[in-house]
Amino acid sequence: MKDLPTQPNQTRVQQSFRRGLDTYHSAATHQADIANRLAECLATVAPNALTNVFEFGVGTGHLTQAIQDRFTVNNLRLNDLVPECAAFAPSTATFLDGPVQQVPLPNDLDLICSASTVQWLDDLPTTISQLSNHLRTGGWLALSSFGTAQFHELRSLGSNAAAPSYCDAEDWRAILPKTMKIKHLSQARRVEWFPNAIALLRHLRDTGVNGAASQKWSAKDLKAFETSYRDRFGTPQGLPLSYDPVWVIAQKA
Ligand SMILES: C[S@@+](CC[C@H](N)C(=O)[O-])C[C@H]1O[C@@H](n2cnc3c(N)ncnc32)[C@H](O)[C@@H]1O
């Protein structure tokens, strides 16, 4: 694939996920469910034997495990921006670190998959189109991402923690290249509740998802954040944080 320049926020995203790596696997329960559902949906449309598979943004392996539980894979290539993710990869897989936009790939892939990662890519249509070029005819693209309601509470309070490419399910019709035929598209919003702002911010840090936030929190900032969040969104259940996952499965014509 042709190299694209490194994105300006990539270093921050990498640092943020690296910092959360020890806590990610157990803290990222939504991402674990989302990865499982992606593999489950794929299993309803794709054959269960796949020769060449590439997964990017593997993190600690939620999707890798979900795919291995449901499919027989001969050659598994894994990628993440954070080189330390190699420690979570199965020994039979090849791990390639760095931005997915720069990973060398063959042109006969049966499946390209990724969970909870593509929202971090600045130029989503270009990267998806370039990746699709590496699928064989009949090959599969299986992605989960997040829609425009993802963390909307944070954004409406002025946080810059948002990833650059939140897209709703229907947006994927325009993002995918014409050669990719959609076989599954869904979106299902859910809310997690926190007793206070510290617990909510800790959740973001532990799951590494505040990669675009540059803010350092003083005690005064924290108090102001808690007050605004409670005034605007607080309920007897606590402080809500919206997740807005999207699942996309397409086949190359
Ligand atoms: C939210 S985690 C998802 C991990 C795993 N797929 C899961 O479902 O739990 C996002 C991962 O994408 C990686 N990532 C972000 N931008 C990337 C890029 N441009 N290329 C490769 N990996 C990237 C991060 O380092 C992080 O491990």
User: Does residue 17 line the site of ligand 1, with CB under 6 A?
Assistant: yes
Average pLDDT over all residues of the chain: 93
User: pLDDT, tens digit, for every residue of 83-124?
Assistant: 999 999 999 999 999 999 999 999 999 999 999 999 999 999
> How far does residue 102's CA lie from ligand 1's centre (Å)?
14
- Position 4 pLDDT exceeds 70: no
> How far does residue 57's CA lie from ligand 1's centre (Å)?
3
Tell me the C-alpha distance between 167 and 45, whole Å: 23
User: Does residue 204 line the site of ligand 1, with CB under 6 A?
Assistant: no
pLDDT at 208: 85
- Position 217 pLDDT exceeds 90: no
User: Does residue 100 line the site of ligand 1, with CB under 6 A?
Assistant: yes
User: Does residue 80 line the site of ligand 1, with CB under 6 A?
Assistant: yes
- Position 175 pLDDT exceeds 90: yes
> How far does residue 223's CA lie from ligand 1's centre (Å)?
31
User: Does residue 147 line the site of ligand 1, with CB under 6 A?
Assistant: no
**What does CATH list as the number for 10-193+238-252?**
3.40.50.150
> How far does residue 237's CA lie from ligand 1's centre (Å)?
31
User: Does residue 62 line the site of ligand 1, with CB under 6 A?
Assistant: yes
